Structure 1
Amino acid sequence: MPSSLTDLTALVETIARTQDPEAMMDTIVERLSELMDADVCSLYLCNPQQDTLILAATRGLASNAVGQVRLSLNEGLVGHIAASLSTLNIADAPSDDRFVYIPETHEQSYRSFMGVPLIYLRKLVGVLVVQDRDQDRYSDEEEAFLITVASQLAGTLHLLQRSGSWMQPEVLPYKRFSGIRSAGGIGIGRLWVIDPHMTLDQVTPGINSDPVEEKAEFREAIEWLAKDLESRSGKMGHHLPGDLNALFGVYQMMLKSPELVNGVDARIDQGDSAPWALRQVIEQMAQIFAESDDPYLKARSEDITNIGQRLLNELLQHERQVIETPDEPLVLTGELVNITDLAEFPLQRIHGIVCTSGSALSHTSILANALGIPAVMGVEGLDPDRYRGQRIIVDGNRGECTINPPEVLCREYRRMIADEKRFIQGLERLRNEPAESLDGFRVRLLTNTGLLADATPGLERGAEGVGLYRSEIPFMVHQSFPTEEEQLRIYQKVLAAYVPHPVSMRTLDIGGDKQLPYFEMSEQNPYLGWRGIRFTLDNTQLLVTQIRAMLRADIGNGNLQVLVPMVSRVDEVSSFRGHMEKAVADLRKEGHPVRMPQIGMMIEVPSAMLLLPKLAPWVDFVSIGSNDLTQYLLAVDRNNPRVSALFDHLHPAVLHALMNIQQQCQTLNLPVSVCGEMASDPVAVLVLMALGYNSISLSAYNIPRIKLLIRSVERQALLPLLEQAQACSHEEEIRALFQPLVEQALSKPAATTQSENADDQQG
């Protein structure tokens, strides 16, 4: 009987190294039967489409029963374990009333029986069973070992179980995969795989024999890619709204950045081959962003990796050639479909994008939204090569894709596509209309941004300003702190793009999880460490330089507002205001006609909420960072898959906090806005309206839909629901109260707003 941690560790490591689903399951039952000296070991997995258990692998039962034996929940001993989510350990299984004999298994000769449920993030994955001919109950030590094994393997088996790749084709006629909602809408087409050649992570260490020649080849690769980007930009430019085509300019900027060019040159001079030097530099640059907890900044690592991959293709002369594509709707699929991949195809043929990695904030997502192409990122368990040329449905609204769908499902989705087209056409008419409820409650809709290229979507969709501008990017892409002049040029462009609308620029929110390549920080708990205003106050010269750049950028624009992040103490804000006032005075002495901007504080830390009356004299407005506030209130890391399901900005505690903040701000005469994912959640927006919030900052792509929602309801009708919500003890209860209003508002034609209704009545 295994009793050491070594046995368990060896088993888990063996499973982790097994890539083939069938081999993985066979390894589990074979190794467990050996470790426990059991006559039978069987693995049952839940059918992801039905409430049934399927015998997925066995050692000891009839092999032809695999894939054929199916049990309902609560059917037989295995079904009982699944339904009760509890361990079952009995000495004589056939004599138990719950026992169901299945002839195909030939298990009548086995007496002792022990089974444990496989549970991952509170969801049933399957059941693990051992059996013996002896009529004897398994020992407590054996039971404890099997329970431990199940807990260790549940996460690995969860991915396998959800993919359905272990099931026989006749059991699951079509496959559905889940991912991250990236760009809304629905598309149906032929799955077209974007084939990479050698990827960056496949490049191995190499040395060069002629550094001059290697650097020349690298320069040629940069020049070729720069021309290619310019060409592709020209192809797509007339399809893009406004200057969203500047996304190609962002790629050009990254391509010619000193950090990339000089970094590769330096490594080549040290003896590295150009591909190996390129890989090291790209990984270093991308890692800076990838380690950030901010999903927007994290997504920038994808852009850097894309540039690196394109350069590698050219260095190795493996750049894809233009190939003939079928004259039919296509869904582009791959690990990460990038901007230049899109430009290789006629846009009218691209009906969807599916990526097995990536995030909803990548530039691919930005373009997909702007072009109206449904997109799903980070799809788990999908092997694109396996389904080349198959029909696929991309549901960007739900973050799903379905391969080989039946015709009846396709017909329903085509109907939904037609309905969505009519809906979007109605939304376009609302761009210049106010976000005002039927009974006159006005909500200001602002947008979030971090790159100049992100400005256009907000302006095109009717944003009334920028509620949050993330200023970290210039600091994270440099090899040293950017100068005042470098920051000035960036801030001027952002402010000018939105004149006369206000732009709230958040000061440097670095530290902890957001590392700089040239300023090393190591902390045991970065979420509670040296970050935000704590970091910048301790590095006063950085703060003063950034403040001066922002103030100078505001000259001639007059729309700057400044946000202080991660405030937790009164002295932090009072010190910040002191630095701001001194910077204004110093710049005026230098001859710069700067003005004192409004200063706001972000409420992300609960202590800031409790200290509002003491903080109020030092600030002009408040912005609630709903993501961090929820995270800190609930002690839930939303990026941790084990607990992320517990993260919900409509948790009763968060609702109570928002109510408290709004009431305090009203008493203190402080304007208050809400930013973060909450501002894009239709149900949460109704709750915020009921609470009295009249300013929210959200993703540009959600502005039209949220505007329609606001214009379709009466705030007075929300107040009784809010009163009921205050008595709820679970977020799902709160959602259930407001969801019917959301469905009603977003299901009717967008043109049916208060202004059109009024015109009809007058006519």
Structure 2
Amino acid sequence: MQQPSLKALTAIVDEIARSGNPEAMMSRIVQQLRALLSVDVCSLYLCTPDQQHLILAATEGLASEAVGHARLQLDEGLVGHIASSLSTLNLGDAPTDDRFVFIPETHEMPYHRFLGVPLLHLRKLVGVLVIQGRERVPFSQETEAFMITVASQLAGTLSSLQSRGDWYERKHASTGYRRLKGQKGAPGIGMGTLWPVRPHVSLDQIVEGTCSDPASESQALEDAIQAVADDLESSSSHLDQHLPADVHALFNVYQMMLHSPELHTECCEHINRGDSAAWSLRQTVDRMAEQFQSSEDPYLKARGEDIRNIGQRILNQLLSRDSISRTPPDTDLILAGELISIADLAEFPLQNIHGIVCTRGSTLSHTAIVANALGVPAVMGLENFEPEQHTHAQMIVDGHRGECVLNPPAPLLHEYRRMINEEQRFMQDLERLRDEPAVSRDGFRVCLLTNTGLLADATPGLQRGAEGVGLYRSEIPFMIHDGFPTEQEQYSLYAKVLQAYAPHPVSMRTLDIGGDKQLPYFDISETNPYLGWRGIRFSLDNAQLLITQIRAMLRANAEYGNLKLLVPMVSRIDEIQGFRRHVEKALSTLEREGVRVGMPPIGMMIEVPSAMLLLPRLAPYIDFVSIGSNDLTQYLLAVDRNNPRVASLFDHLHPAVLVALEQIHDQCEALGLPASLCGEMASDPAAVLLLLAMGYDCLSLSAYNIPRIKHLIRSVNRSELKPLLESTRLCQSETDVRALVQPLLEAAARRQAT
């Protein structure tokens, strides 16, 4: 047998990856491999979503009627042996093997030689790939090596299909019941009729076009932009009674993007070169959005979605098509689309919106922020789902799990209704805790702060009882300009944030830009951005930017007095020394200008392990510490949590992370440094119990989670948690830690219920 080339393998994988139909994808795999290897049979077995059985998903050579029906347990037959042992099996006469199991509907008795390889993705069994032939000799070592290579290439492509269960449910469920996994956008559970919010023509569908009258084309574009501006103004008024004032500021952000000189100028340049208005718009929006979306930071990446939302609305006007052209039913609605903007929501009665689903986007998109403010459950980034194919279908949106259920069966609907009623009662009970302190049953007081990045985030935190801001991200003004924002522009924004929370403290992180966080007007290209020119390194190397930002923050603080300066990504002593000198110089300069300012508290983020180890030598230069649990976990474990291949290894309850956090707390206590912790860890109930046991008395978390975490803290005795922490020191993995904490969480839940 002539061995296929790697080039042939690459061609197969690329073709299969482009296929959007599960059945076509699996059929193509077995067809291509059977022809490429010149074998009698090629078959693909996939695990059922519950990982209990292997189902014949596609075959070339066995009976086609067996597809979807031939079933094996994970340790049954030769295929089951491969699945259970996770090893390759190459036999010359399979039917004589003791492990062989005959499945009548497959008609496989004439085949003797057998080669099967497991499909593994991220340590999980996806299925088994098999080839068979009539000869009574094993397949060659070269063929075996090629099959192993094929399996390694195809496992990732097939994994999402296998885990979703599309291939199985289509054959065994006439109801169309499906579970769809996405990202948590806004917590809560909602159910209703699915209503697609999708433009007739998307910006991505616009192809290259020319114009013969640039003046007319430019005017058409300007008219479209003005129409969108008017529409946004109208939508803003419509939502005025329902959205908090600061969340309302999102409309101002949209208007600012809409009237960006960069957008107008670049579009007109394209039109003057002969491009059509629509094609000019797409090119300009693609380039502007790419500046954000090339960032590895999910918060900054989300800003690219807003640019594309604005571009889509301009296109809708340009083509005289409204993104919502049909009248929705007057019932409970689940709005679904590729990206749903704030203005889209204004087209519907708010009392009818019970859930939001976006096939793109992230937890940090504007849609998610507004959904949180409105209390509407949302799931973002729902891949491989076309809403327009399921108009009027019933859907459940589970924002707690980042999951949607399409056409749920009656028992599941009943259970979710019960959960919704229970959650409504629970949240109403939590309202009474808004102004109550987060104090354990035995008197341990915890300060709960919120994380924010836009002025629009301010109100949710205040409404849910935040005692200040533990982390204010200052990057956004730099990202939405076509040049570095002026001191006055920064001052205006910082003053509004400080005013919103005064007299509560606001920890403003200085510019965390560089490396993986690109500015549209300051390109940085690096091989390894996580270890590159970012955070305080970038700021110190661009001192004029740092000084401008410090001056703007200090000026804002002169009025309200609640500023705390926070320095990101500190890894060296001279970095914090240099930062402090810049603050002292800015204070002196402002005093000479007649601005009466004082030295605010200066803190540093512990995100890099070296900062933790140097803490005693850094202490003389700082007043407080904020632990960035996401980055610290990432650097300690050498795991990029945005990389799907290793994201499952990212867990802030890893024993090494817990050891580090204990050391940091004990050092801070000995040095007299107040320490807070921010990041996902502060919203994880299991982690919060351990942080209480360690002695952490200040946490910064998302606004929505504040009442729940406050309730948890008020339902436990810290004295009972200390023995738990001692026990975790013997744990070998995060799984062991969670198993240890679970009984205490259940006990706390019982106390909360009573």
TM-score by length of 1: 0.96
Partner of residue 203 from structure 1, selected from 193, 201, 206: 206
- Deviates most, 192-201 or 379-388: 379-388
In structure 1, the residue matched to 2:599 is 596
In structure 1, the residue matched to 2:99 is 98
In structure 2, the residue matched to 1:260 is 263
Deviations 1:689-734 (A, max 9, x none): 1111111111111111111111111111110000001111101111
Matched AA of 1:667? A
In structure 1, the residue matched to 2:30 is 29
SS state at 1:601 partner: strand
Matches within 5 A, 1:291-690: 291-321=294-324, 323-690=326-693
Deviations 1:737-761 (A, max 9, x none): 22233344346657x6xxxxxxxxx
Rounded Cα–Cα distance in structure 1 between residues aligned with 2:264 and 2:600: 38
In structure 2, the residue matched to 1:705 is 708
In structure 1, the residue matched to 2:736 is 733
* 1:392 and 1:403 in contact (8 A); partners too: yes
Matched AA of 2:554? L
SS state at 1:24 partner: helix
Rounded Cα–Cα distance in structure 2 between residues aligned with 1:227 and 1:679: 41
* 2:338 and 2:358 in contact (8 A); partners too: yes
Rounded Cα–Cα distance in structure 2 between residues aligned with 1:79 and 1:336: 43
CA change 1:300–1:485 in 2 (3 A) is same
Post-superposition offset of 1:293: 2.3
- Deviates most, 382-391 or 680-689: 382-391
CA change 1:239–1:741 in 2 (3 A) is farther
* 1:32 and 1:41 in contact (8 A); partners too: yes
Percent identical residues: 65
Do residues 61 (structure 1) and 62 (structure 2) align? yes
- Deviates most, 326-335 or 688-697: 326-335
Post-superposition offset of 1:338: 2.2
SS state at 1:429 partner: helix
* 2:44 and 2:129 in contact (8 A); partners too: yes
Rounded Cα–Cα distance in structure 1 between residues aligned with 2:631 and 2:537: 16
In structure 1, the residue matched to 2:119 is 118
* 2:715 and 2:752 in contact (8 A); partners too: no
Matched AA of 1:394? V
Deviations 1:646-690 (A, max 9, x none): 001111111011001000000100011111111111111111111
Post-superposition offset of 1:162: 2.6
CA change 1:168–1:176 in 2 (3 A) is closer
CA change 1:322–1:19 in 2 (3 A) is closer
Post-superposition offset of 1:475: 1.3
Post-superposition offset of 1:586: 0.9
Rounded Cα–Cα distance in structure 2 between residues aligned with 1:320 and 1:608: 50
Deviations 1:188-215 (A, max 9, x none): 2122122222111122223333333222
Post-superposition offset of 1:168: 5.6
In structure 1, the residue matched to 2:694 is 691
Rounded Cα–Cα distance in structure 2 between residues aligned with 1:423 and 1:68: 45
SS state at 1:706 partner: helix
* 1:620 and 1:670 in contact (8 A); partners too: yes
SS state at 1:554 partner: helix
Rounded Cα–Cα distance in structure 1 between residues aligned with 2:451 and 2:215: 45
Matched AA of 1:164? G
- Deviates most, 715-724 or 321-330: 321-330
Rounded Cα–Cα distance in structure 1 between residues aligned with 2:525 and 2:246: 40
Deviations 1:65-120 (A, max 9, x none): 11111111111111111122111111111111111111111100000111111111
In structure 2, the residue matched to 1:6 is 7
* 1:163 and 1:380 in contact (8 A); partners too: no
Rounded Cα–Cα distance in structure 1 between residues aligned with 2:215 and 2:457: 39
- Deviates most, 472-481 or 109-118: 472-481
Post-superposition offset of 1:322: 5.1
Deviations 1:34-86 (A, max 9, x none): 22211000011112145111111111001111111111111111111112211
Rounded Cα–Cα distance in structure 1 between residues aligned with 2:388 and 2:52: 29
SS state at 2:129 partner: strand
Matched AA of 2:517? K
Rounded Cα–Cα distance in structure 2 between residues aligned with 1:740 and 1:264: 60
CA change 1:266–1:489 in 2 (3 A) is farther
In structure 2, the residue matched to 1:248 is 251
Q: Which runs of 5+ in 2 are unaligned?
A: none
In structure 2, the residue matched to 1:128 is 129
Post-superposition offset of 1:422: 0.3
Post-superposition offset of 1:404: 1.8
Rounded Cα–Cα distance in structure 2 between residues aligned with 1:381 and 1:47: 19
* 1:260 and 1:281 in contact (8 A); partners too: yes
In structure 2, the residue matched to 1:756 is none
SS state at 1:149 partner: helix
Matches within 5 A, 1:160-171: 160-167=161-168, 169=170, 171=172
Quote the RMSD (CA, aligned, Å): 1.6
Post-superposition offset of 1:10: 1.9
Matched positions, count: 751
CA change 1:515–1:589 in 2 (3 A) is same
Rounded Cα–Cα distance in structure 2 between residues aligned with 1:237 and 1:52: 54
Q: Which runs of 5+ in 1 are unaligned?
A: 753-763
SS state at 2:617 partner: helix
Rounded Cα–Cα distance in structure 2 between residues aligned with 1:229 and 1:590: 41
Rounded Cα–Cα distance in structure 2 between residues aligned with 1:416 and 1:10: 48
Matches within 5 A, 1:104-253: 104-167=105-168, 169=170, 171-172=172-173, 174-253=177-256
* 1:3 and 1:141 in contact (8 A); partners too: no
